[in-house]
Amino acid sequence: MPQEWSSSPPELLLAIDRTSGRPLHAQVQHGLRDAIRTGRLRIGERLPSSRELARTLGVSRGLVQECYAQLQAEGYLTTRPGSATRVATGAAAPPGVPQPRTTTPRLVADFRCGVPDLGSFPVQDWLWALREAARSMPTAEFDYGDPRGSAALRDVLAGYLRRVRAAAADPRHIVVCNGYAQGLGLALRALADAGVDTVAFEDPGSPATVVAAAATAGVRAVPVPVDGQGVDVRALAATGARAVVVTPAHQWPTGVALAPERRLALVAWARERDAVVIEDDYDAEFRYDREPVGALQGLAADRVISIGTVSKSLAPALRIGWIVCPPDLAEAITEQKHRSDRGTPTLDQLALARLIESGRFDRHLRRMRATYAARRTVLLAALTEHAPHVPVTGLAAGFHAVAHLPADADENAIRTTARTRSVGLYGVTPYRSAPASAPPQLVLGFGNVSERAVARGVAAVGSLLAGGR
């Protein structure tokens, strides 16, 4: 897509050498041709006016007009009365130059997991919060600031997490980060500096994310099995790890909540081994037919690093998260954040603070709970109708479900065939450390799929899920 500018003329970098002996008009023409041929200037892109380019290059306007006319005659440029000079449609870059991406075929339903309803992002509320934040933002806030993040947001977050997640949150021990992946990386690097050399992770879980973060921190990552009650603490103890990454509120991807006795056992393990639990507070905002489950951090604030984000509650594009740190790790994690990027954008932090303290954030969450609950109901009804013998679990919270396929089913074959029916399906295998021995299962995300699309999608692939064709 060509770039568009306001009424201000666009800038263009061209180099001319007055000592080369080559005529200036030839140099300008060559520079423009080269920019078009190499893809620096793309089809439809606007060029500076002849007056502006002449001023920039220090040449006469007539010389630039002559160059534009010559390139127009050669088919490189096009112009219309009252309009800017642009790169002509026929002036395509040669093979090998990157071209705009082609659109992918539209799916009837794409059950991609981990994505909220992007169309329901509260644009007006966010714009209001940005305006309010910018209007009242003190001049000093435009500096680099505290690497922990805005004091205003940390104070608001602490109150919110105490109120909604029963967390023992102290704003002095909160570090604002750019999403979960960065938060995990900061925590693991701080733990590595403290002598931790092995971190465990749930299996199935997020092996790619944890292994990558562990490798960067110089820490070994080992899997620990998950069953119907959550992570197996006995198996965890056998690994020798002094840190573990868990999703206790709504385990990813199985959807089970960590059982009360397992929560206590996990805290006991951490205290006995001088270990740390890294809590990914995943899907905590959305629950349906179960009692609220508080953050694990509330049970052991000195042993749990709790990481939360707005990626599911608002949108991943905001890239805002937070780390609730144990007091004795807060300084080390803050230092890691400072080394990483000097801090998360302050204006966005202040906007989020305004959104939460105004009540608009809570209002958005209530609306989205109703939306996801309705889609959940449609999903269950559609599966009951089109694949009645396929068990479904993990629906007590969040916006994904796990479909348990027949034992002889082929995950990859089902996914491939589903694409021919314009439905996106995704298996659990990529989230396991030992895919070869895994039972065939699918993760059905319905966060960014409308009720109508959910029903149509399940109808299209129901026979596949049930073991047919």
Residue 300 contacts residue 149 (beta carbons within 8 Å): no
Q: Which residues contact 84 (CB under 8 A, 6 or more apart)?
A: 46, 47, 49
Could you check whether 109-117+363-465 and 123-358 share the same CATH topology? Answer: no
User: Structural domain boundaries of the chain?
Assistant: 1-100, 109-117+363-465, 123-358
Predicted confidence (pLDDT) at residue 105 exceeds the cutoff of 80:
no
**pLDDT number for residue 4:** 44
If you average pLDDT over residues 360-386, what whole number do you get? 96
Residue 55 has pLDDT above 80, yes or no: yes
CA angle 462, 466, 468 (to 5 degrees): 90
Q: Which CATH architecture fits 123-358?
A: 3-Layer(aba) Sandwich (3.40)
pLDDT of residue 373: 95
**Residue 94 confidence class, pLDDT cut points 50, 70, 90:** low
pLDDT tens, 260-318?
A: 999 999 999 999 999 999 999 987 788 876 677 899 999 999 999 999 999 999 999 99
pLDDT > 90 in the chain, percent: 77
pLDDT band, very low/low/confident/very high, at 205 (cuts 50, 70, 90): very high
Least confident of 36-40, 109-113, 448-452: 36-40
In this structure, are residues 178 and 320 in contact, taking their beta carbons and an 8 Å threshold?
yes
Q: Where are the beta strands (DSSP E) in 228-360?
A: 230-231, 243-246, 276-280, 304-309, 321-324
pLDDT > 90? residue 13: no
pLDDT at 314: 96
How is domain 1-100 classified at the CATH fold level? Arc Repressor Mutant, subunit A (1.10.10)
With 80 as the cut, is the pLDDT of residue 103 above it?
A: no
Task: State residue 442's pLDDT score.
Answer: 96
Region of 389 (left: φ > 0; alpha: ψ -120 to 50; beta: rest) is: alpha
HSE-up (13 A, CA, CB side) for residue 3: 13
Least confident of 136-140, 331-335, 416-420: 136-140
Q: With contact defined as beta carbons under 8 Å apart, do 458 and 386 qualify?
A: yes
Q: Which tokens in the block code for residue 124?
A: 């007006």
Q: Sorting pLDDT into bands at 50, 70 and 90, what band is 436? A: low
**Does residue 405 register a pLDDT over 80?**
yes
CATH entry, 109-117+363-465, from 3.90.1150.10, 3.90.550.10, 3.30.460.20, 3.40.50.150: 3.90.1150.10
